Chains A and B, each alone.
Chain A
Amino acid sequence: MTEIFGIPLQAFAGQLLLGLVNGSFYAMLSLGLAVIFGLLGIVNFAHGALYMVGAYVAWFSVEKWGLGYWGALVLAPVIVGALGVVIERTLLKHLYKLDPLYGLLLTFGLALIAEGLFRDQFGVSGQQVNVPEALQGATNLGFMVLPNYRAWVVVASLAVCLGTWFLIEKTRLGATLRAGTENPALVQAFGINVPRMVMFTYAGGAALAALAGVLAAPVIQVTPLMGSNLIIVVFAVVVIGGMGSILGSILTGLMLGLVEGLTKVFYPEASNIVVFVIMAIVLVIRPAGLFGKEK
């Protein structure tokens, strides 16, 4: 069997793929965080909780409601997006004139509420969501056996990320959004309903998080704690990438997923902390982040 640095190629490629899968989730979540922060000036701690809710919608959809995985893929972003609308309208809109720290604290509170509610219902043990039939099995690529579902996760999240990038950077709607980030008062003066745009932006970011949750549900254990464990890593990803650029967020997310996968192969003990170590190094060398602009 072929080996790379004494590691069987199959194991090596498997870990890399797992890293890429995790990287896709980092990319989708940090993308949503960046868009929300850009327009609302709020660092959405609840992003992890929204991702968790998305994964539970997948579980309900498959196990209880009989709508299956594909139904969840549509349903979860809609439900969580609607939840986002409610959160923005009732809570977040009171904070826009305040120090951004309050936004972080409020969404932290929301994350605690969501986590507590789900823990009360489901305990801390995980729920299993089965891989949909169409994506079961694996393809033999010669050098490795590629599980179809994992390939789907990477392809689907890349498509979603690039779609979001296209929407924001290349369409008229995106141009308005970017203008709103720069100068909301002026955009409002042009007759655009900025508060409504803000609301839909938050809902969109929430829907992205939910979508990531559905994609993640069959590859991980769905637990109430899955969101908060992930969101801290995503924060580190955001600090490394800098929140300035959309493509930057996507690239950083994927890259760090890969690095994490590699660490699992060569030095598993450090795989939990490697992202934080990289964050510290990046902060020392380039405080604004890899793709950030120094202000």
Chain B
Amino acid sequence: MVSTPTKNDAFQRKSVIAWGVLLALLAVAPFIGIYPVFMMKALCFAIFACAFNLLLGFTGLLSFGHAAFMGSAAYVTGWLVRSAGWTPELGIVAGTLVAALLGLVVGLIAIRRQGIYFAMITLAMAQMIYFVCLQAPFTGGEDGLQGVPRGKLFGLIPMADDLAMYFFVLAVFVAVFGLILRIVHSPYGQVLKAIRENEPRAISLGYDVDRYKLLAFVLSTGIAGLAGAMKTFVLGFATLSDVHWSLSGEVILMTLLGGMGSFAGPVLGAFTIIGLQDYLADRVGSWVTVIIGVIFVVCVIAFRRGFVGELIAWQKRRS
């Protein structure tokens, strides 16, 4: 696992500059010819990966079923907006809440076991949610939920315009990122880190570890739901692949590749994987799965610290 950056001043100054540059790049991206729908999709998955990293990187829990939460929120939001005529912002809030509620139920069951069992249980529960989505009448089965309108945000701003939509997604992304920074650096976040490093010790210090883990799980699944709800608006549909286990695997890869336990890692990982899939989709067919698999294997064998972890290690070696 990668620890958070040291309190080294020079390093902090550098990372503040890096963040400023990154944010500026994101703000001008649609004006320098980068396809806005791609950027929006990548940002949604970056939110998703950040939510996942809150659990894996900062609490040490590997959920192998996170797609279920993203996907169910995508369905709920899509259905409410398209068929029940809700406004976008209410639909997004509802989707997020449903994902958090599902997270509460799944979390209550999954935190009864640790480590590898936790991963297997979340995978199994997510598969159950997948089958429910496959058979439920309102999800559209194999076809998915198509043609979700973007509508008007707060009844004022028409979101059909890609540029308006882009800045909305970017604002949500920045807000989520700030929220996660805040959570991790709060006293609560410090307890989560303690649980990650040494759970028995945290218990012996008197912390009710299960409650801390459960809250982390609910927060993470709620934010994953927010990502799914946003994604439905960006692309206009929710399908079974949003709740499928392969997406749960992809979000793990995004986090691992970028560097788990770092703030920037999941964002970089999400952009890399989404970019790669976008690029490869029409070119190689089924080989996308093979390539993703190979990246998985290479990451686990030789690149466990991810982009950000390697960068930090390189910085340390130099200084």
User: Are A and B part of the same complex?
Assistant: yes
Q: Which residues of A contact B (CB under 8 A)?
A: 37, 43, 91, 94-95, 98, 100-102, 104-106, 108-117, 119-120, 228, 232-233, 235-236, 238-239, 269, 272-273, 275-277, 279-280, 283-284, 287
In the A-B complex, the 10 residue pairs with the closest CB atoms: A109-B296, A112-B293, A116-B289, A116-B290, A113-B293, A276-B128, A120-B286, A236-B124, A109-B297, A119-B286
User: Are the CB atoms of A102 and B116 closer together than 8 Å?
Assistant: no
**Contacting residues, chain B, for A235 (C-beta < 8 A):** 120, 123-124
B256 at the interface (CB under 8 A from A): yes
B115 at the interface (CB under 8 A from A): yes
A228 and B113 CA atoms in complex are apart in Å by 23
User: Are the CB atoms of B249 and A108 closer together than 8 Å?
Assistant: yes
**Contacting residues, chain A, for B112 (C-beta < 8 A):** 283-284, 287
User: Are the CB atoms of B131 and A108 closer together than 8 Å?
Assistant: no
User: Are the CB atoms of B121 and A239 closer together than 8 Å?
Assistant: yes
For residue B124, which residue of chain A has the nearest CB? A236
- Which residues in window 179-236 of B have CB below 8 A to A? none
**Contacting residues, chain A, for B116 (C-beta < 8 A):** 37, 43, 100-101, 104
Interface size on B, residues (CB 8 A): 43
**Contacting residues, chain A, for B295 (C-beta < 8 A):** 109
**Contacting residues, chain B, for A232 (C-beta < 8 A):** 123-124, 127, 245
A283 and B113 in contact (CB under 8 A), knowing A104-B119, A105-B296? yes
B300 at the interface (CB under 8 A from A): yes
A145 and B289 CA atoms in complex are apart in Å by 43
Q: Which residues of B contact A (CB under 8 A)?
A: 62, 64, 109-110, 112-113, 115-117, 119-121, 123-125, 127-128, 131-132, 134-135, 245-246, 249, 252, 256, 285-297, 299-301, 304
For residue B290, which residue of chain A has the nearest CB? A116
Distance from B119 Cβ to chain A, minimum over Cβ atoms (Å): 6
User: Are the CB atoms of B294 and A113 closer together than 8 Å?
Assistant: yes
For residue B56, which residue of chain A has the nearest CB? A101
**Contacting residues, chain A, for B291 (C-beta < 8 A):** 116
A119 and B290 CA atoms in complex are apart in Å by 10
User: Are the CB atoms of B121 and A269 closer together than 8 Å?
Assistant: no
